[in-house]
Structure 1
Amino acid sequence: MTSTILIKNGVVIDTEPEPVVLGRADVRVDGDTITAVGPDLPAEPGAEVIDATGRLVLPGFVDTHRHTWQAGIRAVAPDIDFGGYMRRIMTELAPRHRPRDLHAGNLAGALECLDAGVTTLLDWSHAQYSPEHTEAAVRALRESGIRAVFGYCHAGRHGVLAEETRRVHDTHFGTPGLVTMAVAALGPEITSEEHALAEWRVAAELGLPVTAHLGGRGRQSAVKGLAFLEDHGLLATPTTFVHALYYTDEELKRLAAAGATASIAPVDEMNLGIGYPTTGDLRAAGIPTGLGADTVVCSPGDMFSQMRTAHLLERGRPGGAGLGFTTRDALRMATIEGAQVLGLGDVVGSLRPGKQADLQLLRTDTLGMAAAHDPIGAIVLNADTGCVDTVMVAGRVLKSRGQILHHDLAAVLASLAESAGAVVAV
């Protein structure tokens, strides 16, 4: 028997095709699906009613790029640059992670997302040192209850890359579910061209999208990497360009024509010295662009911080060049546009009936949110994780009245603390 949940009396905000405040309305969920949005929907016998009075009802956030396993090394290097990040995090700390550490980090990191209203996550997982590491990371995502795309990065010898990627796909993603797979490619700007070719070719073979750090290592590297992808016809495979900061307008038009998407991590791009986020340029070129927390080693892990930073940096461009970017644009990037980046635009990211019931309720009865005249503006400029009252993924309530459900948080945090101590110990 299909269960029904009726969310009553909230101020509903939808995001498709553009963010709009629908006003006081109800949302009906049957099973895992949104079936109706409108005023005064009838509460049928047996339906569970969630009173959303004093709450904003909107789609869950979509994080398009996050190294979730790094939850156990939060703020380990808050003032580091990119070169230092590669040395301290990827060379020193990453190899110290045991499979149990990846499980602890991924579970705590995914629950951190849910606690902050993020219902869909691209987990760019580049600490895959063994099949046991991979199993632990995927298992943690599934245990959390979040909707996730597991970005599998095989950093070993390219000769076994395709074989191992096939094994991971067949072993862990043989049946549909909330956790799906992408190839997290090192790409031509980081690894050898032979390795990069193997990454895109196995993705095409398995029908998987690619997510790669492209265009964030300076102008010369961006030009060389893009030429490699175009010369080999690799952009026929859906590809997300992470940190796409150093392309010309003409090159961005070529990416748009190829169907590429982009992910911007505005806090990390500034904090690590990668470059100034190109949010407006990417979107002006017609490239769907999402937001990502990237890494909590030197960045906040919530989408409110990412939206605020993107909004501030774009509007702060010299000469008022970015003043056309609005809070509605920021919210769109964090919801439906982020879903499009992950290839899930027809599944999540808005409250359109027929989509999966991935949504959140935000409190407005706080000093920081009270008397807000523009609800969308308040979400982007004023809200924080403390406002997240209720979170639902595929019709399942995972947070209610400010509390994460279905998990022993004390045990989760104890496991994370043990992992953190083991990883950073000299």
Structure 2
Amino acid sequence: MTSTILIKNGVVIDTEPEPVVLGRVDVRVDGGTITAVGPGLPAEPGAEVIDATGRLVLPGFVDTHRHTWQAGIRAVAPDVDFGGYMRRIITELAPRHRPRDLYAGNLAGALECLDSGVTTLLDWSHAQFSPEHTEAAVRALRESGIRAVFGYCYGGRNGGVAEETRRVRETLFDTPGLVTMAVAAIGPEIAGEKRALAEWRVAAELGLPVTAHLGGHGGESAARGLAFLEDNGLLSTPTTFVHALHYTDEQLKRIAATGATASVSPVDEMSLGLGYPTTGSLRAAGIPTGLSADTVVCSPGDMFSQMRTAHLLERGRPGGAGLGFTTRDALRMATIEGAQVVGLGDVVGSLRPGKQADLQLLRTDTLGMAAAHDPIGAIVLNADTGCVDTVMVAGRVLKRGGQMLHQDLASVLAALAETAGAVVAV
């Protein structure tokens, strides 16, 4: 990898503190870090120059909650509700996944993210039935080249949450790297309060954040779960509320006061019947809120679809209540705000010098993107995965000229097809 990369002639969009079009300026990357953004940056001897003519240059997207292993069962339940999802996916198909199936799904799913401009991923992994499953899932993330937070959700016998979480932390995450760890908790609303105590307490012990499905199962469940977390002092550990759909404004203020964050999955929160996404309410309460694809079994896997849906649903609230939500808000959620949600706001999510060079170049020389007067509006409303020309993580180019690099995609897809046949076959 060339130590210095200079991106020239593109229209640059930064996102911190708010999305803004900087215009035709250059971006310099040294050793994987953004070191300068500005006009007329000199091309030092030996530097690689990327000509971004006809391209938009912006930070990579951040997916704040994705069950990546489900890439092998894409669209297996496109019209299911949440109860049907739990029966078909979690009860029936998940246990059929061998370690090699988790590897195949995670590798293909992570590459799908990169191919569509997602450079950071919170992998909410709840098919951890054995140490071999966990090792396979983490290995796939590392081999993909993506930046990821591996959300470990213990799937073994009752009582082993703390012990196995410690083992995973000590054996698989003992050295720094692009893949870090969080605790993906299923208590208290799904698996009960005893499970929640074990999950949050081991997270605090190990210094890990928690990501949990909270507030998505009705008002009574949301209130009871929040009160339990507060009464036991568990929210002193950084916590992301996934599908926080049924909290009152007063409860959202309490959540915000803890420094917690939120993840919205606008497509499948609607399609699974969980509830109308609370994008505006969460952000109005001061809770950093990111977007997520959640699952490709019943949702598109790209961030363009999520931004567009969030924008549409928020602005479509009755009486114009959501008309203050803009395309800039949607892009912010998909970049810097999402980075804050996964605990990497000081590392990625914008083009601020000193941050890691996780970025993407989008084509504008297509019929769907040509003559766009507002580049940010065009990204949210018009762009799609076919626009993603170049993708970089930590200064390493993983996609160039619309083509993925460093991977034998034929082998990846063949392994995924084998997994699909094996786990869905009766």
TM-score, normalised to structure 1's length? Answer: 0.99
Matched, 1:321 2:321: yes
- Residue 240 of structure 1 aligns to a residue whose secondary structure is strand
Aligned-partner residue type, residue 297 of structure 1: V
Alpha-carbon distance in structure 1 between the residues aligned to 2:314 and 2:164 = 41
1:251 aligned partner? 251
Is 1:155–1:186's contact at 8 Å kept on the other side of the alignment?
no
- The alignment covers a number of residue pairs equal to 426
Alpha-carbon distance in structure 1 between the residues aligned to 2:204 and 2:158 = 16
2:27 aligned partner? 27
Shift of 1:160: 1.2
- Residue 399 of structure 2 aligns to a residue whose secondary structure is strand
Gaps of 5+ in 2: none
1:406 aligned partner? 406
Aligned-partner residue type, residue 205 of structure 2: E
1:348 aligned partner? 348
Aligned-partner residue type, residue 6 of structure 1: L
RMSD: 0.8
1:43 aligned partner? 43
Matched, 1:209 2:209: yes
Shift of 1:35: 0.2
Shift of 1:187: 1.6
1:269-316: CA deviation from partner (whole Å, max 9, x where unpaired): 000000000000000000000000000000000000000000000000
1:246-269: CA deviation from partner (whole Å, max 9, x where unpaired): 001111011111001000000010
1:133-164: CA deviation from partner (whole Å, max 9, x where unpaired): 00000000000000000000013344211000
- Residue 148 of structure 2 aligns to a residue whose secondary structure is strand
Deviates more, 1:157-166 or 1:88-97: 157-166
Alpha-carbon distance in structure 2 between the residues aligned to 1:57 and 1:2 = 19
Alpha-carbon distance in structure 2 between the residues aligned to 1:343 and 1:212 = 14
Is 2:2–2:48's contact at 8 Å kept on the other side of the alignment?
no
Alpha-carbon distance in structure 2 between the residues aligned to 1:411 and 1:242 = 34
In the TM superposition, 1:294-313 aligns within 5 A as: 294-313=294-313
Alpha-carbon distance in structure 2 between the residues aligned to 1:336 and 1:106 = 24
Alpha-carbon distance in structure 1 between the residues aligned to 2:226 and 2:301 = 30
1:148-199: CA deviation from partner (whole Å, max 9, x where unpaired): 0000001334421100000000010000000000000002100121111000
Alpha-carbon distance in structure 1 between the residues aligned to 2:387 and 2:315 = 25
Alpha-carbon distance in structure 2 between the residues aligned to 1:158 and 1:81 = 28
In the TM superposition, 1:251-400 aligns within 5 A as: 251-400=251-400
Alpha-carbon distance in structure 1 between the residues aligned to 2:155 and 2:223 = 23
1:318-362: CA deviation from partner (whole Å, max 9, x where unpaired): 000000000000000000000000110000000000000000000
Is 2:130–2:155's contact at 8 Å kept on the other side of the alignment?
no
Aligned-partner residue type, residue 22 of structure 1: L
- Residue 72 of structure 2 aligns to a residue whose secondary structure is helix
1:230 aligned partner? 230
- Residue 153 of structure 1 aligns to a residue whose secondary structure is strand
2:88 aligned partner? 88
Alpha-carbon distance in structure 2 between the residues aligned to 1:288 and 1:155 = 29
- Residue 159 of structure 1 aligns to a residue whose secondary structure is coil
Is 1:158–1:198's contact at 8 Å kept on the other side of the alignment?
no
TM-score, normalised to structure 2's length? Answer: 0.99
Alpha-carbon distance in structure 2 between the residues aligned to 1:3 and 1:232 = 49
Aligned-partner residue type, residue 84 of structure 2: G
Is 1:158–1:194's contact at 8 Å kept on the other side of the alignment?
no
Aligned-partner residue type, residue 399 of structure 1: K
- Residue 128 of structure 2 aligns to a residue whose secondary structure is coil
Give the percent of matched residue pairs that are identical in Structure 1 and Structure 2.
Answer: 89
Is 2:130–2:156's contact at 8 Å kept on the other side of the alignment?
no
- Residue 126 of structure 1 aligns to a residue whose secondary structure is strand
In the TM superposition, 1:54-69 aligns within 5 A as: 54-69=54-69
